[in-house]
Structure 1
Amino acid sequence: MMRQNKIIQSLVTGSLFLAISCGIPKVTIKENQVNVPSSYVTNSKETSTDAKIKWKTFFDDPNLQQLIDLALVNNKELNILMQKVAMSQNEIQAKTGEYLPSIGFGAGADLDKVGKYTRNGAVEENLNIREEEKFPEPLTNYKFGLYSTWELDVWKKLRNAKKVAVMEFMASQEGKNYLVTNLVAEISSSYYELIALDSQLKNLEQNIDIQKNALDIVKLLKESARTTQLAVKRFEAEVQKNQSEIYNLKQDIIETENKINFLVGRIPQPIVRSTVNFLQMEPKMVQTGLPSDLLENRPDIKQAQLEMEAAKLNIKVAKANFYPSFGLKAGVGYEAFNPKFLLSSPSSLLYNLAGDAIMPLVNRNGIKAAYKNASAKQIQTVYEYEQTILNAYTEVVNQMSKIDNLQQSFKLKRDQVDALNESISIANQLFQSARADYMEVLLTQRDALEAKTALIETRKNQMLAVINLYKALGGGWN
C-alpha cells in the first residue's frame, strides 16, 4: 500500500511539473556577435593607449584643471546622477533582505464582549473559571512575542534578483563615469573655443588697425587729388564693418564663458584662461592603442555590457515565477486574559510553525507577459551593446582621420596667411604709386583677415579633435 502511495505521489508530482513546464512559453536568448578589428589602421603596431592617462595629466593647463575640478564637485547633472547611483546601491540592500528571514516583535491587547443570546454568549453563561465565579465580562486578552516569515529561495529567484541589482548598480557607476568623460571633454572643448575667440578678437583688432592706417593714406591721397572720394568711403565702410564684428565676437565670448560657468555649476563670471598665442599651441599626439582596449576603457561599453548581463539574469527571475514559491511562518510568545498570568510558563506560552506552497495554475497571462518582456529586453540590450561598440570604434576612426586632415589643412592655411600678409604690403605700395586700384588693396586686406580667421578656426578644430579622440578612447573619467 505504501509503495502504491509513493508511486501515485511521484506521478502527481511529475505531472504537476510537466504541466508547469508545458505552460512556460519558449523565448530566445541572444548572444552578442560583435567582432572588434585587430587595429584601427592596417599594419599598425601601436599597442599603448592614452585612454589610461588621467585627465589631470592629459590637460596640463592649470586654469583648465581648476575648472574641471570645480565641475566634478558642483556640476548639477553629475550630482543628480550620483543620487541615482545611491538609489541603485540601496536597491541591492533591499533585494538582499528579500531572501533573508524576516523577524519582528509584536504586542497587543484586546477587549471582547459577546451577546448573551449567541453561541459564544451561551457558552460563557454556563462556564465558570472556578467554582462560583462567573466568566469575565467583558473578556480581556494580552499577548506579545516574536514572529518570523521566510520565503525559501528554491529556484534562486531572489538571489538572481539581488545579482541583477548589483549589476545595475555597477552599470549606474559606469554611467556616472561616462558622464564625467563627457563633462571633462565639454569643458575642455569650451575652454579652447574661448581661447580661439580671444585670438580671433585680437586678430580682428589688428586688422582694423591696418585698415585705419590704409584709410589715413587714402585720405592723404584724396587731398592730393591722386584718388577719389569713393575710395575713401569704401575704406571707411570696411573699417566700420569690422568694428561692428567686434561686438559679435564679444557676445560669443560672454556666451562661451557662461556655458563653462554653467557646466562648473556657478553663476556667470569671467573665466581665467591662458593668454598664450593660440596659434603657437601644438595639439597633443594621442596614442590610440588597439580597438579591443575600448571594451576595457569606455564606460558606456562597460555599462552596456553590465545591462546586457543583468537582462539575461532577469529572464531567470521572470521564469521562476512559473514555479511554486515556498514559505515558512513561525512565532513564539505569551498570551493570557489577565496580565498577572501573562508570563506564566508553560501555561501562557504559545508558538506556531507553518509552511506553505503557492503556485499559479490558471490565468498566468501576467507572468507570461513579464517573461516575454524580459526576453525582449535581453535581446534589446544585446543590440544596444553591439551598437555602443560600433559607435565607439567609428568615433575613434573619425577623429583619427580628422586629426590627420586638419594637420594638412593647417599647414596650407598657414602658408596662405603668410602670402596674404606679404601681399598687403605690396598692394599698399602699388596703390600709393598708382599702379593698383584701391579695390585690390581692400580685397587683399579682406582675404588676409578671412584667411587668418580660418587658420585660427582650423587650430581650434585640431584641439577639439584631440579632445574628442581622448574621449572616444575612453579617457577622462579616471
Structure 2
Amino acid sequence: MKRTLYYPIALSALTALNTACSLNTDLTIPDKPMPPSFQDQPEQPDGANVSTINWREYFSDSQLLNLIDTAVGNNLDLQIALQRIETARSSVKLANGNLLPKVALNIGGGVSRFGLYTMDGAGNATTEITPGQTVPVNLPDMFVGVQSSWEIDVWGKLEDQRKSATSTYLSSVEAANFVISNLVSDVAIYYNELLALDHELEIIRLTIQKEQEALEVIKLQKQAGRANELAVQQFNAQLLSTQISEKTVRQQITEIENKINYLLGRYPQPIERSKDVFFTETFHELSAGVPSQLLENRPDIRAAEFQIAASKFDLQAAKAAFYPTVNITATFGFQAFNPEFLFVSPASIAYSVFGQLIAPIINMKALEAQFNTAQANQLSAMYNYQKTILNAHVEVANQLANIKNLKDISILKKEQSDTLKQSVDVSKDLYKSARATYLEVLIAQQSALQSNLELINVIKQQRISGITLYKALGGGWR
C-alpha cells in the first residue's frame, strides 16, 4: 500500500526535476564592443571627463544654482522616483523575511460536538477526561501558544528572489539619479533659453525704437515731397511686424518661465536672472574622456545593468519553481477544554511538527509559461542595456560634433552681424543722398535684425550644447 502511494509522488518529483534540468538559464546575445574613442575625437589616455564635476561647480551663475537647488528639493517627478526607491527597499525586506521561519502567536478557542453514533462520539461517551467526569458532549477546545512555518530554501529560489529584489532596488536608485541628471540639465537649458529670449527682446525693442524714428523721418520727407505714401506704408508695415515679434517673444518668455516653475514644483512666478552672464563663458573645459566611462558615469546605463541582474535572478527562481518545495510547520503551546487546566498541568502541553515535500504535477504548463516569460524579460533587459549604451554614445558624439560646428558658425555669424550693422548705416546715408531706395533701407534693417537674432540663437545653442554634453557624459547627479 505504501509503495503504491509513494510511487506517483516520487515519479512526479523526478518529472519536475528532469524538466527543470532541461531549462536553459544561461542566456546570451551578440556582443557589441564599444569603440575606443568618440567619432572624430582622439583617444584620451588620461581619461579626463567633465561629468565627474559636481553641478554646483560646473555652473557658476548663482541664480541658476539656486533654481537647481529648489528643483532638486521640490520636483514632483523626483519625489515619485524617490518613493519608487522606498517601494523597492520594502521589497528587499520582504524577500529577506521569506528566507526566515514565520512565527506567530496563536490564541484561540472553540466548541465541538461529535455525533453519538460515530467513533469519536462513542469513544468520548465512555472516556473520562478528568477523574469521575466523562468527555462533555459539547467539548470546548482552547489553545495558547506559537505556530511556525518555514520553507527551506533547498534550491535557492528564495535567495534568488532576494537577489532580484536587491538588484531592482539598486536599479531604482540609479533611475532616481538619472532623474536628477535630467532635472539639472533641463533647468539649466530652460534658464539659458530665457536669457537668450531676454536678449532677443532687447534687440527687438531697440529695433522698434529705430524703426519708429525712421518712420517719423519718412513722414517728414513725404511732407517735403522727397518720399511718397508707399514708402510711409512700407516703413509702418515693418514696424508693425517687429512689434508683433516683440509680443511673440514676451509670450515665449512667459512659457519658459512657467516650464522652469513646473520643474521647481511651484506655481507660475517671475524667474530671477541676470541676462549679462549670457555672453560670458561659464563652463569648464568640455573633455569627453573615453566611451567606456559611460558605463560607470551614466545612471541610466547602471540602472539597465542592474535590471539585467534582476532578470537573471528571476529566471533562476522561475527554474527553481519546478523543483519540489520543502515546508516545515510546527506548533507549541497549551491546550485544554477548561481554562483552569490550561497552564497548571504539564498534561496541557501540546505540540506538533509536520514536514511536507510538495512537487508540481498538473500545473507544469503554467510554470513553463512563467519560465518563458522570465527568459523573455532577461533577453529584453540585455537588449535594453545595449540600446541604452548605444543611445548614450550617440548623444555624446552628436554634442561633440555640434559644439565643434557651432564654434565655426558663431565666428561667421559675428562677422555677418557686424557687416549687416554697417550696411544699415550705409543704406541710410545713401538714402539721404538719393543714391538708395527706401526698399533697400528696409531690407538692410530687416537683415540686420534677423542676423542679430540668429547670433543670439547660435550663442544659446553653444551654451545648451555644453549642458547637454555634460548630461550625456553622465554629469549632473553627483
**TM-score under structure 1 length normalisation:** 0.93
- Report the equivalent of 1:439: 439
- Report the equivalent of 1:48: 48
Q: Is the 8 A contact 1:53 1:475 kept in 2?
A: yes
Alignment of structure 1 residues 157-306 onto 2, 5 Å: 157-276=157-276, 278-281=278-281, 284-306=284-306
Residue 237 of structure 1, CA deviation: 1.4
- Backbone CA RMSD of aligned residues: 2.3
Q: Is the 8 A contact 2:20 2:323 kept in 1?
A: no
1:54 is aligned with what amino acid? N
Aligned residues: 470
SS in 1 for 2:145: strand
Q: Is the 8 A contact 1:279 1:456 kept in 2?
A: no
Cα–Cα, structure 1 residues 153 and 125, in superposed 2: closer, same or farther, change >3 Å?
A: closer
Q: Identify the range of structure 1 (127-136 vs 439-448) with the bigger mean alpha-carbon deviation.
A: 127-136
**Within 2, Cα distance between the matches of 1:403 and 1:417?**
20
Cα–Cα, structure 1 residues 445 and 388, in superposed 2: closer, same or farther, change >3 Å?
A: same
Deviation digits for residues 170-206 of structure 1 (CA, Å, limit 9, x no counterpart): 0000000011111111111000000100000000011
1:39 corresponds to which of 26, 34, 37: 37
Residue 18 of structure 1, CA deviation: 6.8
Deviation digits for residues 201-242 of structure 1 (CA, Å, limit 9, x no counterpart): 000011111212222222222222122121122111111221
User: Percent of aligned positions with the same letter in both sequences?
Assistant: 36
Residue 429 of structure 1, CA deviation: 0.7
**Within 2, Cα distance between the matches of 1:395 and 1:209?**
43
- Report the equivalent of 1:375: 375
Deviation digits for residues 281-321 of structure 1 (CA, Å, limit 9, x no counterpart): 56653111111110000000000111011111211111101
**Structure 2 residue runs without a partner (length 5+):** none
Cα–Cα, structure 1 residues 354 and 214, in superposed 2: closer, same or farther, change >3 Å?
A: same
Q: Is the 8 A contact 2:16 2:322 kept in 1?
A: no
Residue 119 of structure 1, CA deviation: 4.8
Q: Is the 8 A contact 1:261 1:268 kept in 2?
A: yes
1:21 corresponds to which of 1, 18, 21: 18
Cα–Cα, structure 1 residues 132 and 61, in superposed 2: closer, same or farther, change >3 Å?
A: closer
Cα–Cα, structure 1 residues 232 and 130, in superposed 2: closer, same or farther, change >3 Å?
A: closer
**Within 2, Cα distance between the matches of 1:197 and 1:85?**
38
1:409 aligns with 2:406: no
**Within 2, Cα distance between the matches of 1:402 and 1:83?**
37
Residue 275 of structure 1, CA deviation: 2.7
- Report the equivalent of 1:62: 62
Cα–Cα, structure 1 residues 231 and 200, in superposed 2: closer, same or farther, change >3 Å?
A: same
Q: Is the 8 A contact 1:24 1:322 kept in 2?
A: no
SS in 1 for 2:272: coil
Residue 246 of structure 1, CA deviation: 1.0
Cα–Cα, structure 1 residues 278 and 135, in superposed 2: closer, same or farther, change >3 Å?
A: closer
**Structure 1 residue runs without a partner (length 5+):** none
**Within 1, Cα distance between the matches of 2:131 and 2:451?**
118
